[in-house]
Structure formats: C-alpha cells, structure tokens
Amino acid sequence: GHDTTTAGISWVLFLLALHPDVQERVYEEIESIFPPGDDRPATVQDLNELRLLERCIKESLRLFPSVSFFGRTLSEDIEIAGYHVPAGTIVGIHAYHVHRDERFYPEPEKFDPDRFLPENTEARHPYAYIPFSAGPRNCIGQKFALLEEKSIVSSVLRRFRLKSVRTRDEQRIMHELITRPKDGILLYLEARK
C-alpha cells in the first residue's frame, strides 16, 4: 500500500496548498495537539484527534482516489437500468466518477472537507464513497492508510506552509493502476516560525 498512500499524501498536500484557509484551520488543529516547539512524534491517540485533517484526506481521496478504477465479477445475474447482466460478467467500477455524482456531492469538483462531517455523511449511500473499494473485497489496510497519511501530512504542516505552483486546471492526472499526478506535484514549502 505504499504506492497508494504516497499518491494520497501527494494529492492532499496539493489540495491544502491550493486552499490556504483550510490549510490554516488544519494547522490550528495540529497546533492544539502539538504546541509550537513540541517536536515529539505523533501517537495514534494524537492522530485520532485530527478530525479536520481526516476530513481533508477523505475529501482528497474523493477527488483523487488512489485506485480510481477496479473490477468485480458478478456472482449472480442482475438487472441494471432494465438490462440483464449475467453472472460471470466483469463489471468495471470507476470510483473517480462515482465520487462526482451530484446527487451525493453538489459542486463535485469543489474541495469541501465538510462533506465528511458526521451530519453530512449519515444519510449518504454507503457506496457513494469508495476510495478503498467496498464490500467483502474492500482494502483491509484503509484504517492504517488513513493513520499513515495523517502522520505524514501533519508532520509536514507542523513545519511548513504550502503553496502550489500549479492550479487544479494545470495539474494533469494519469489514471494508471494508481491515480498519479502527471509530472509530479510542485509545491513551495515555507518554514513556519
């Protein structure tokens, strides 16, 4: 999972760099746990308290799921939109597009971590957000991946302010096995004082 997690970290840093207001709120949350000058490593308990950062990571994974396309083989006949699809058919699921369904995500291209506040997720269809797949074949490492991403992103934000060289429109995406930033993500890192 290092490749998928690395991609996820890259995208969340990029999106936070593009949204300095959100980045500052995340930094304030981090600072409430790690006061300036506190260089101790984060514990799991610390990471669990970073709720805004977790919402930012989830929103980044909504916009740029690390694995944007996966397949499943039907184990039984089903009907989809009036069409009979027999068992044994391989069905492609494109999370990148599922995550842009306006029924669940108004203004789907907008970066809005508050989409993941508890009151905004409780009525959402469970398969409207599938960055780790879903059901019996979902990613067994998803909780670890979120902790890993929180650990790295919070460590970066404790030390630096981020600014992006590119806009969202300028940043190209490569949908390979992993959703990658074409030509990398270019950021300016400014040391926090």
Binding-site residue numbers for heme are: 139
| Closest by Cα among 7, 33, 60 to 174 | 7
| Closest by Cα among 118, 99, 107 to 179 | 99
- Under 8 Å between Cβ of 26 and 16: yes
- Counting Cβ atoms within 10 Å, is residue 17 exposed (0-12), middle (13-18) or buried (19+)? buried
Binding site, by residue number, is: 139
Where are any strands of DSSP class E within 86-125?
90-94
- Counting Cβ atoms within 10 Å, is residue 49 exposed (0-12), middle (13-18) or buried (19+)? middle
| Separation CA 155–CA 157 (nearest Å) | 6
Q: How many CB atoms lie within 10 A of CB 77?
A: 11
The torsion defined by the Cα of 157, 160, 163 and 166, in degrees rounded to 10, comes to -80
161 token code pair: 């302010």
